[in-house]
């Protein structure tokens, strides 16, 4: 399969690492509006053709898929154009910025018989896969609550050649840390819980550099059926970089602390296992090997991957509700699911 990367930034380089290891997926073209990034792509990908606009790309290349790695503000436009050309689409998180855009893309993808594939790469971290397996044990019991923490020392910088602080500019990112790191914690919650939240509450604010208008810290709570909740703390104002996922069951608990997984069984005995999981690699290169293999498999088997689209829609619905909740003092906001969720 021949494909093109749209937006050759930091995360695209992570994707490229995986593409170089998967012979079935071949990147033949790159689209980027920045001349310096196009030059860098040519240095990194032998024989690649680089373009400045979508129309010229399509006129000159015979493609099977598009990998959208742009900042969030223009993903919908590129995805819709790609679908109408008959290209399969894989895209970074947040897949979209507005709930209503999902129905449009889903309708067009169904009409053109192409795959829409949100790249939810954190699910492929080795410690996360092992944790998911442990949650399936009968001895674990039902999940009763969870606590997630994502600590970062400032926002991740974009490429100096374009706009290194785009993550703090809502015209490009949609908002602050909720839009940047929120999707990972939200889809991970759904992945572990195997259900959707029914209500959302949130408080956002500033704990670090206040030169930006977008929040650097958020305390988000996802409320599930059965009085289960997952509390999520996200911040760019930390002095350390750490990623924690604590999941408590009726009889056992699993704690992820970066590359360490702690399993506390029903007797209180703790088992500690360290698995290199690349949480401190901002490009998450190794995770994308499994992501892209799954994307390729889904194309070959003609799977629509409604599961991923629903998971992605929930991230956007939760974030929109979270901002609404924060504006109203942190009250619970109910989530309403669209009709296509039940189709």
326 shares a domain with 193: yes
198 shares a domain with 85: no
- Classify residue 26: in a domain, yes or no: yes
49 shares a domain with 132: no
- Classify residue 209: in a domain, yes or no: yes
319 shares a domain with 271: yes
- Classify residue 46: in a domain, yes or no: yes
The count of domains in the chain is 2
169 shares a domain with 60: no
Query: What pLDDT is attached to residue 340?
Result: 77
**What is the 3-state secondary structure of the chain?**
CEEEEECCCHHHHHHHHHHCCCCCCEEEEEECCCHHHHHHHHHHCCCCEEECCHHHHHHHCCCCEEEECCCHHHHHHHHHHHHHCCCEEEECCCCCCCCHHHHHHHHHHHHHCCCEEECCHHHHCHHHHHHHHHHCCCCCCCEEEEEEEEEEECCCCCCCCCCCCHHHCHHHHCCCHHHHCHHHHHHHHHHHHCCCCCEEEEEEECCCCCCCCCCCEEEEEEEECCCEEEEEEEECEEEEEEEEEEEEECCCEEEEECCEEEEECCCCCEEEEECCCCCCCCCCCCHHHHHHHHHHHHHHCCCCCHHHHHHHHHHHHHHHHHHHHHHCCCCCEECCCCHHHHC
Query: What pLDDT is attached to residue 262?
Result: 96
Show the domain range for 180: 122-278+312-334
CATH code, 272: 3.30.360.10
201 shares a domain with 110: no
Q: Determine the distance from the C-alpha atom of residue 43 to the mean position of all C-alpha atoms in its chain, rounded to a whole number.
A: 28
219 with 177: CB under 8 angstroms? no
149 shares a domain with 93: no
- Classify residue 285: in a domain, yes or no: no
CATH code, 299: 3.40.50.720
194 shares a domain with 217: yes
101 shares a domain with 201: no
234 shares a domain with 131: yes
- Classify residue 342: in a domain, yes or no: no
150 shares a domain with 99: no
Encode the chain (343 residues) as per-residue pLDDT tens digits: 999 999 999 999 999 999 999 999 999 999 999 999 999 999 999 999 999 999 999 999 999 999 999 999 999 999 999 999 999 999 999 999 999 999 999 999 999 999 999 999 999 999 999 999 999 988 999 999 999 999 999 999 888 888 899 999 999 999 999 999 999 999 999 999 999 999 999 999 999 877 888 999 999 999 999 999 999 999 999 999 999 999 999 999 999 999 999 999 989 999 999 998 888 888 888 999 999 999 999 999 998 899 999 999 999 999 999 999 999 999 999 998 888 777 6
74 with 83: CB under 8 angstroms? no
- Classify residue 287: in a domain, yes or no: no
Closest CA to 232 of 330, 150, 152: 150
322 shares a domain with 200: yes
Query: What pLDDT is attached to residue 343?
Result: 65
Q: Is the dihedral of CA 225, 98, 280, 212 positive or negative?
A: negative
Query: What pLDDT is attached to residue 278?
Result: 86
- Classify residue 112: in a domain, yes or no: yes
What is the reported pTM? 0.95
């Amino acid at each position: 399969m021949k494909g093109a990367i749209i937006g050759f930034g930091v995360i695209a380089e992570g994707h490229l690492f995986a593409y170089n290891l998967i012979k079935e997926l071949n990147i033949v073209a790159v689209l980027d509006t920045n001349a310096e990034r196009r030059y860098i792509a040519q240095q990194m990908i032998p024989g690649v053709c680089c373009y400045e606009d979508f129309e010229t790309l399509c006129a000159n290349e015979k493609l099977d898929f598009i990998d959208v790695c742009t900042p969030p503000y223009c993903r919908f436009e590129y995805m819709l154009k790609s679908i109408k050309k008959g290209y399969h689409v894989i895209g970074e998180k947040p897949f979209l910025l507005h709930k209503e855009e999902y129905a449009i893309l889903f309708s067009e993808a169904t009409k053109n018989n192409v795959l829409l594939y949100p790249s939810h790469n954190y699910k492929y971290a080795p410690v996360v896969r092992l944790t998911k397996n442990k949650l399936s044990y009968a001895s674990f019991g039902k999940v009763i609550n969870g606590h997630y923490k994502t600590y970062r020392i400032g926002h991740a910088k974009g490429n100096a050649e374009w706009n290194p602080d785009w993550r703090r500019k809502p015209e490009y990112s949609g908002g602050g840390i909720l839009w940047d790191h929120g999707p990972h914690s939200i889809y991970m919650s759904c992945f572990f819980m195997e259900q959707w939240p029914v209500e959302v509450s949130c408080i956002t604010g500033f704990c670090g550099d206040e030169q930006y208008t977008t929040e650097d810290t958020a305390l988000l709570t996802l409320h599930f059926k059965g009085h289960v909740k997952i509390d999520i703390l996200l911040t760019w104002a930390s002095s350390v970089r750490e990623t924690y996922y604590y999941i408590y069951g009726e009889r056992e608990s699993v704690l992820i602390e970066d590359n360490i997984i702690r399993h506390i069984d029903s007797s209180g005995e703790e088992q500690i296992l360290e698995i290199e999981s690349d949480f401190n690699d901002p490009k998450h290169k190794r995770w994308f090997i499994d992501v892209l293999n799954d994307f390729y498999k889904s194309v070959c088997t003609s799977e629509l991957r409604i599961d991923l689209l629903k998971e992605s829609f929930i991230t956007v619905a939760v974030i929109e509700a979270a901002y609404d909740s924060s504006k109203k003092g942190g009250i619970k906001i109910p989530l309403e699911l669209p009709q296509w969720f039940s189709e």
